Each structure stands twice: as C-alpha cells, then as structure tokens.
Homo-oligomer: A and B are copies of this chain.
Amino acid sequence: MAASTLTEVARLAGVSPATASRVLNGSARKPGKDIAERVRQAADSLGYIPNAQAQGLAKSSSGLIGLIVHDIADPYFAAIARGVQDEAREQRRMVLLATTGGAPAEEREAVAAFAARRADSIVIAGSRSSRTEDRDDNAELAAELDRYCRNGGQVAVVGHPVVGATVTEGYHVVAVPNQELAGALAAELASRWDGDFVIIGGPDGLFTSDDRIRGFQEGLATAGRPPAEVLRTAFNRSGGYDAGLELAARIKAGRSGDGEASARKLCIFAVNDVMAIGASAALRAEGLRIPRDATIAGFDDIETLRDFRPALSTVRLPLEEIGRLATRATGRTAGGSEDLDDGEPGPVSGEVTLRRSTEAVA
C-alpha cells in the first residue's frame, strides 16, 4: 500500500487535482470556501502527505539545506549544527547532514550530493585548508561550488572563503574574527604574565588554526614579547594530548635542570578548547598541575567543557549564532520589504574569557 496522492484526494473530494493542489498549499488564488473544506476533509481522511520530491521536481526547489562539518560528534560542530537546525526549523526547511573529516575531496562529494538533491543552500562549517596536498581537491571543490552557485544555489561558509571560488552571487561568508580575538587573548595574557608562551597549533595550512596562531603572535609582538614557539599537531583532542606530553617533558626537564631561563613557567595557548583539554590531560598524566606548573588557554568556549577544573581560559565564540547566521544568509526569501539587499551577515563577535587555568599562582 503506497501513500495516497493528490489525485486520489481530488477524486474523493470530487474536484480536479489542480484545485486540490491550490487548497492544500498556499497557492496565490483562493478556492471557494465550501470546496476547500471538502478537499481538506478528503485529504486527512486519506492521511494525505504531499510528496516533497514531486513538489521539488515541479518547482525545482526542495526546502533542503545541506550542512557540511568535519565531525558531528565534535562539540564545536555540534553547537554550530544546533544553530543551523534551529534556523532551518524556523524557515520550515530540513537539514541534510554530511561529515567529511575535513578532507576537501569529500567536501566536494558532499556538495555534489547536495546539488543532486537540489538543496536550496549549503552551509560549510569546517575549516578551510591550503595545504599543498589538498590543492587539487580544493580546486575541484571550488569548481563544484561555483557550478552549484551558478545554478542558483546559495552557499555560506563559516570562517574563510573557499580557496579559489570565483563566483560571487549567492556566495556568503560568515566572518569569524579569529585573528583579532587571538590577538586580544595574547594581549590579556601578556599583561598579567611574564613567562614564556608556547602555541599548540593544528597542521600547517588549516586556516582557522593559522589565523589564531598569527593573531596570537601579533598580540605578543604588540605587547613587546618575542614570538612563541609553535607546536604543530592534529587539530583535535589527541593532537593536544601529544603536544601536552612533549611540553610536560620539557617542563620537567627545565625544572630539574640547571635553573636556566627555561625554568620560567610556561603559558600554553592551544588553538581550540578540545586541544587544550587534551594538553591538560597530558600534563596531569605527567604529574604536572595547572595553573601551578603551567598555565593554558584554549579557544571556542565549548559549552560541554565549561565544567572542567581548573576552568579553562578561552575565547568565547557564539557558535550557535554562527550556525544561525550562516543559515539565514542563505535563506533570504524573495520579496522582502527590507531595504537592505541581503547584506552579508554581520561579523560575529567573540570575547576573551580568562578563568582559573591562566591564573598566576604563588
């Protein structure tokens, strides 16, 4: 037994499919009140559910919005996804999910899949990368996106534009001031801290990571500090853990050592909270304590991690709002009375949040 169709409803109500269609959807012209009622009754007596595929085919628009993330279980992406989902719900659209692990090749695939499903818009939340190994894939991704836009699709990217995209129409970027905020964080830390700084960063070429590193270094420079050493590692908890082990070894060596300058307490900046937590875990595992033996700060202010102790200093990012903004940027319904012609989403703002993990301790 298949789902009942509009034609069946029409027949039962004794009208033409066209009329039934007009009743059951917000068509421009309104049918007679009496007839409308008959149709509606027929519809739910049959448990009629419109076939969105057919509707989509006919109107060529699907009410679908595609969301691309690295990993939906990563709280950073999960938070953004929540924002996207919320906004989509308000716009009465549905979210299609794709996870790519950050590989541009898979992102390209995802875009193609969304295009195939005729998604009205696509939100890309994962960080862009400029690693040379990804160059070709990035080019293909850009091409795929261009095509998608040229066919009328709307794209919003969180953070950085996709490398090599050439189309401008329908292409939006939700700018995240990673660099400025990292700079502000560095400034704050430098002002209450006279030890050395170390940065735990993601792989070279990851924009988000690179921006935060650059900003932090600038902040240090402005404060008259020398640039911090940068440890490159994976952009996740285990990367943070590895780097943490490395640092723990150094700290211990410096401590038991000959009392050189290296014995000054280290302030660690991990380019995201999850990495910072990993690093903290490693330090702890090596018997070091925060903020006693070293201090540490992260970035993002992930909600789930706020109960950690010592509380993690970080930069608060309105992740949910970012998701919402990205979605909204792609969702302008035609014919708004607004004067502003769908201006780009205002740059989001973050906030340096110092907590216990970077407190100076006697």
A272 at the interface (CB under 8 A from B): no
Q: Which residues of B contact A82 (CB under 8 A)?
A: 71-73, 99
Copies in the complex: 2
Q: Which of B117, B278, B303 contacts A94 (CB 8 A)?
A: B117
Alpha-carbon distance A72/B95, docked complex (angstroms): 12
Tell me how far the C-beta of A281 lies from the nearest C-beta in chain B, rounded to whole angstroms: 5
- A72:B75 contact, CB within 8 angstroms: no
Q: Is A307 an interface residue (CB 8 A)?
A: yes
Stretch of A50-58, A222-230, A250-258 at the chain-chain interface: A50-58
Say yes or no for A163: interface residue by CB 8 A criterion: no
Among B96, B278, B309, the residue within 8 A (CB) of A96 is: B96
Do residues A73 and B79 form an inter-chain contact, with CB atoms below 8 A?
yes
Assess whether A277 is in contact with B81, with CB atoms less than 8 Å apart.
Answer: no
Return the chain B residue nearest A303 by Cβ: B73
Determine the interface band of chain A, counting residues with CB < 8 A from chain B: 35 or more
A188 to chain B, nearest CB (A): 25
With both beta carbons as reference points, the residue of chain B lying nearest to A310 in the complex is identified as B309
Q: Is the CB of A54 within 8 A of B52?
A: no
Q: Is the CB of A97 within 8 A of B95?
A: yes
Shortest beta-carbon distance from A269 to chain B in Å: 18
Chain B residues lying within 8 Å of A49, measured Cβ to Cβ, are 112, 115-116
A123-131, A145-153, A329-337 - interface stretch: A145-153
Q: Which residues of B contact A320 (CB under 8 A)?
A: 73
Q: Does A105 contact B (CB under 8 A)?
A: no
**Residues from chain B with Cβ under 8 Å of A305 in the complex:** 304
The minimal Cβ–Cβ distance linking A256 to chain B, given in whole angstroms, is 25
Is residue A261 within 8 Å, beta carbon to beta carbon, of the partner chain? no
A3 and B149 CA atoms in complex are apart in Å by: 10
Say yes or no for A284: interface residue by CB 8 A criterion. Answer: yes
Residue among A82, A307, A309 facing the most chain B CB atoms (10 A cut-off): A307
Q: Verify A75–B308 contact, CB threshold 8 A.
A: no
- Find chain B residues with CB under 8 A from A96 CB: 94-97
Interface string of A274-302 (1 = CB under 8 A from B): 10011011001000000000000000000
From B56, B71, B115, A3 is in contact (CB under 8 Å) with B115
Min CB–CB distance A312 → chain B (angstroms): 11
Which listed residue (B2, B118, B237, B278) contacts A53, Cβ 8 A?
B118
State in angstroms the CA–CA spacing of A47 and B140 once bound together: 12
Chain B residues near A52 (CB-CB < 8 A): 116-118
Choice from B53, B67, B280, B303 contacting A117 with Cβ under 8 Å: B53
Whether A361 sits at the interface, judged by CB under 8 Å, is no
Contact with B along A195-228 (1 / 0, CB 8 A): 0000000000000000000000000000000000
Return A202 CB to nearest CB of chain B, in Å: 18
A85: interface (CB < 8 Å) = yes
Give the nearest-CB partner of A280 in chain B.
B307
Tell me if A62 is interfacial: C-beta within 8 Å of chain B: yes
Q: Assess the B97–A85 pair: CB atoms within 8 A.
A: yes
Q: What's the least CB distance linking A319 to chain B, in Å?
A: 9
Q: CB-defined interface of A153-174 with B at 8 Å, one 1/0 digit per residue? A: 0000000000000000000000
Shortest CB distance A16–B (Å) = 21
Which of chain B's residues has its CB closest to A153's CB? B3
Enumerate the 5 nearest inter-chain pairs by beta-carbon distance, A residue then B residue, closest first: A73-B82, A52-B116, A78-B78, A95-B97, A53-B56
7 contacts between A and B (CB under 8 A): A47-B147, A57-B57, A85-B97, A94-B98, A96-B96, A274-B304, A304-B305
